Amino acid sequence: MNQTLSEEELLHRKEKLGLLAAKRKLDSWGYKNLADFHGGAHECEFVSPNTKTAGNVASDIFVALQDWASEDVLTGPVNLETVRLGYTPGMPTDDNLITLLEEHFGLTLCDIYATNAFPFIKPGSISSQIPPKVLRRAAEVFCLPQIRVIAPRLVIALGLDCFNALSEALGMRRAARLETAISNPIDDGGTRVWCQAHTGHWGEINRGGKARVSQDWRTMANWYNGPQGAKHAA
What's the CA gap between 42 and 2, in Å, rounded?
28
What's the CA gap between 33 and 6, in Å, rounded?
34
Looking at the chain, how many residues does it have? Answer: 234
What's the CA gap between 37 and 35, in Å, rounded?
6
Statement: residue 206 has pLDDT above 80: yes
Under a CB-based contact definition with an 8 Å cutoff, are residues 183 and 209 in contact? no
Mean pLDDT of the chain: 96
Number of compact structural domains in the chain: 1
Please report whether residue 219 resides in a domain: yes
DSSP string of 128-175?
A: ----HHHHHHHIIIIIHHHHHHH--SEEEEESHHHHHHHHHHTTPPPP
Please report whether residue 1 resides in a domain: no
pLDDT digits (tens, 9 = 90+) for 42-52: 999 999 999 99
What's the CA gap between 183 and 83, in Å, rounded?
36
Average pLDDT over every residue of 220-234: 80
What's the CA gap between 175 and 160, in Å, rounded?
8
Statement: residue 230 has pLDDT above 70: no
Buried-exposed string 192-205: b where 16+ CB fall within 10 A, e elsewhere? bbbbbbbbbeebbe
Please report whether residue 58 resides in a domain: yes
Please report whether residue 164 resides in a domain: yes
Q: Is 150 left (phi over 0), alpha (psi -120 to 50) or beta?
A: alpha
Please report whether residue 15 resides in a domain: yes
Please report whether residue 2 resides in a domain: no
Any idea what the CATH number is for the domain that residue 184 is in? 3.40.470.10
Could you tell me how far CA 61 lies from the centroid of its own chain?
Answer: 10
pLDDT band at 232 (very low <50, low <70, confident <90, very high): low
Q: How far is CA 100 from CA 27, 61, 177, 198, 211, in A?
A: 34, 13, 22, 12, 11
Backbone CA torsion sign across 78, 81, 85, 88: negative
What's the CA gap between 82 and 18, in Å, rounded?
21
Statement: residue 234 has pLDDT above 60: no
Statement: residue 228 has pLDDT above 80: no
pLDDT digits (tens, 9 = 90+) for 56-112: 999 999 999 999 999 999 999 999 999 999 999 999 999 999 999 999 999 999 999
Q: In the prediction, which pLDDT does 229 show?
A: 67
What's the CA gap between 87 and 208, in Å, rounded?
25
Q: Which of 167, 66, 77 is nearest to 121 (CA)?
A: 66
Please report whether residue 140 resides in a domain: yes
pLDDT band at 231 (very low <50, low <70, confident <90, very high): low
Could you tell me how far CA 32 lies from the centroid of its own chain?
Answer: 20
Range of the domain at 170: 7-233
Please report whether residue 168 resides in a domain: yes
Q: Which of 71, 100, 50 is nearest to 204 (CA)?
A: 100
pLDDT digits (tens, 9 = 90+) for 97-126: 999 999 999 999 999 999 999 999 999 999
- Which amino acid would we find at residue 179? E
pLDDT digits (tens, 9 = 90+) for 158-181: 999 999 999 999 999 999 999 999
